[in-house]
Amino acid sequence: MNKWGVVVVAAGRGSRMGTAESKQYLPLRGKPILIHTLELFQSMEEIAEVALVVGGDDVERCSRLVSEHKLDKISAVVSGGGERQHSVYAGIAALSPAAEWVMVHDGVRPLVTPEAVRACCAAAERVGAAVLAVPVKDTIKQVDETGLIVSTPDRRSLWAIQTPQAFRRELLVAAHERAQAEGYLGTDDAMVVEWTGAAVTIAEGDYTNIKITTPEDLPWAEFLLEKRERGN
């Protein structure tokens, strides 16, 4: 496997959490959620460097956290942009030119496993772009603006997308630059790459790779992390 650069995006405020503190800094088993995420990439031999993208007011704070936790693979802590897409682009630009392959990961997904990361990277190296995903368990309904159901997609074709999302760097940069030039905003990086017509494949991930977004997610993350630490 190639050596990879990682962009960890942690610039959001997370209003759905309902806390004064941004969700990425909330404690999870004694450490900020973000630190758990960064430590995962720090521990992986395949990861050459990590660019951390945070809010402008948090750059100094996060630089201190990186130093305190001895995260020497963090090569840059940079300020994000007005949209997540702009933050990702700033993170890519902060990586060294040697990083020909790039992953983008949410700072509040601290429970992704090394095995899932490697599977995503391997899929990207085959196709050029890949995302972690899990099959949808529930029946999904498409609803119109009045609340009426208009269709029921075949669940077998539906996957819930996670991060990391992995790309050949030149492909991702070209997609971001075209999107910026044409004023296009996608909901994730895969969508931006798809919009250019490039192929994106999936690598099956784990249902435990949750994004900590609401207060209900924290105790679930605590439980999962404790279970993992006990080796169960």
pLDDT score for 118: 97
Kindly state the tokens that stand for 135. Answer: 């099959």
Mean pLDDT of 133-151: 97
Q: Which residues, 6+ apart, have CB-to-CB distance to 204 below 8 Å?
A: 119, 132, 133, 134, 135
Instruction: Report the pLDDT averaged over residues 159-188.
Output: 97
* Average pLDDT, integer, range 10-20: 74
pLDDT band at 15 (very low <50, low <70, confident <90, very high): low
Cβ neighbours, 10 Å, residue 142: 9
The length of the chain, given as a count of residues: 232
One DSSP character per residue, 191-227 reads: HHHHHTT---EEEE--TT-----STTHHHHHHHHHHH
pLDDT tens-digit profile of 90-104?
A: 999 999 999 999 999
Joined together, the tokens standing for residue 39 give 């430590």
**Are the CB atoms for 204 and 224 separated by under 8 Å?**
no
Q: Cα-atom radius of gyration of the chain, to the nearest Å?
A: 18
pTM over 0.75: yes
Name the residue with tokens 């609401």.
Answer: 214
The DSSP bridge partners found for residue 160 are: 134
* Domain ranges, ordered by start, for the chain: 4-229
pLDDT band, residue 201 (cuts 50/70/90): very high
The answer on pLDDT for 232 being more than 60 is no
Instruction: Kindly state the average pLDDT of the residues 13-42.
Output: 88
For residue range 51-72, list pLDDT tens digits in order: 999 999 999 999 999 999 999 9
For residues 112, 116, 122, 128, the Cα torsion angle rounded to the nearest 10 degrees is: -50
| Helix or strand holding residue 127 (H, E) | helix 114-127
Which CATH superfamily includes the segment(s) 4-229? Spore Coat Polysaccharide Biosynthesis Protein SpsA; Chain A (3.90.550.10)
Q: Check pLDDT > 90 for residue 25.
A: yes
Q: Report, as an integer, the average pLDDT of 101-119.
A: 98
10 Å CB burial of residue 38 (0-12, 13-18, 19+) is buried
Q: Residue 129: pLDDT above 90? A: yes
| Residues in Cβ contact with 91 at an 8 Å cutoff, skipping those fewer than 6 apart | 7, 8, 9, 51, 52, 53, 76, 78, 104
Nearest CA to 193 among 178, 182, 181? 178
